[in-house]
Chains A and B, each alone.
Chain A
Amino acid sequence: NAGVTQTPKFQVLKTGQSMTLQCAQDMNHEYMSWYRQDPGMGLRLIHYSVGAGITDQGEVPNGYNVSRSTTEDFPLRLLSAAPSQTSVYFCASSTQGVQPQHFGDGTRLSIL
């Protein structure tokens, strides 16, 4: 049972580039979410999904897009990378109506 799998683990981008952070879970959880973690600021919710085909914005959604075509996958897209998006990104999943229970290992992203 893999849990929540994130790829890649590390990535360096140049300003203006786009990329997709992948997140997959094999627990059949309805809820999935993306957080960014910056020093001294804790975890901040970017986008979340309550099921396939349903997504909504979190606390800091600007510059990011998401989609949820299947229960398993919840990719996060950076449209035009900016240095302010340098962060560690965590994907999480949970059973319906419950807090983030399982986090992935994170993606450390640097924007130059």
Chain B
Amino acid sequence: GENVEQHPSTLSVQEGDSAVIKCTYSDSASNYFPWYKQELGKRPQLIIDIRSNVGEKKDQRIAVTLNKTAKHFSLHITETQPEDSAVYFCAASRSSGTYKYIFGTGTRLKVLA
């Protein structure tokens, strides 16, 4: 079945450094890739997404890149701040046909002040 692998499971960076989280998907028909941020005890929040017709998307300090040939996509956070500390989830889906989203298992990011 469809699968999304996410790495690393935990990541610690110094404040101001960059963080990169990578996801690999198995369904070659996937064409929509969102990222969610979940603070401890809170709801997931959509922070950025990318569609298969785009290779990169940026929103201030956050960017996502997509490599369809290799079937992987990555979240890049630059100039990390303590408030970036959270669990980040990737997901992959097809935008047509069945409405099903497969999530990665999450990355716990710790930004050390």
Closest chain-A Cβ to B102's Cβ sits at a distance in Å of 7
Closest chain-B Cβ to A29's Cβ sits at a distance in Å of 13
Kindly state the separation between the CA atoms of A33 and B44 in the bound complex, as whole angstroms.
Answer: 14
Q: Mark each residue of chain B from 43 to 77: 1 if its CB lies under 8 Å from any CB of chain A, else 0.
A: 11110010000000000000000000000000000
Specify which chain A residues have a CB less than 8 angstroms from the CB of B98 in the assembled complex: 56
B91 at the interface (CB under 8 A from A): yes
In the complex, the answer to whether A42 meets B89 with C-beta atoms within 8 Å is yes
In the complex, the answer to whether B43 meets A42 with C-beta atoms within 8 Å is no
A33-62 contacts to B, CB under 8 A, are 33, 40-45, 48, 50, 56, 58-59
A75 at the interface (CB under 8 A from B): no
Closest chain-B Cβ to A101's Cβ sits at a distance in Å of 6
In the complex, the answer to whether A48 meets B104 with C-beta atoms within 8 Å is no
In the complex, the answer to whether A43 meets B89 with C-beta atoms within 8 Å is yes
In the complex, the answer to whether A59 meets B100 with C-beta atoms within 8 Å is yes
Query: What's the dominant secondary structure at chain A's contact region?
Result: loop
In the complex, the answer to whether A103 meets B106 with C-beta atoms within 8 Å is no
Interface size grouping (class) on chain A: 20 to 34
A100 and B89 in contact, given A42-B106, A43-B44, A106-B43 (Cβ under 8 angstroms): no
Kindly state the separation between the CA atoms of A101 and B36 in the bound complex, as whole angstroms.
Answer: 10
Q: Mark each residue of chain B from 76 to 113: 1 if its CB lies under 8 Å from any CB of chain A, else 0.
A: 00000000000001010101001111111110000000
Specify which chain A residues have a CB less than 8 angstroms from the CB of B104 in the assembled complex: 42
21 CB contacts below 8 A, A to B, read: A33-B99, A40-B105, A41-B105, A42-B89, A43-B44, A43-B89, A43-B103, A48-B99, A48-B100, A50-B99, A56-B99, A58-B100, A90-B43, A90-B44, A99-B101, A100-B46, A100-B101, A101-B46, A103-B45, A105-B43, A106-B43
Closest 7 CB pairs of A and B: A42-B103, A103-B43, A43-B103, A42-B105, A99-B34, A103-B44, A42-B106
Which residues does B use to contact A, with CB under 8 Å?
Answer: 6, 32, 34, 42-46, 49, 89, 91, 93, 95, 98-106
Q: A43-B91, A56-B99 are in contact. List 6 more A-B contacts (CB 8 A).
A: A33-B99, A42-B103, A43-B44, A45-B101, A99-B91, A105-B42
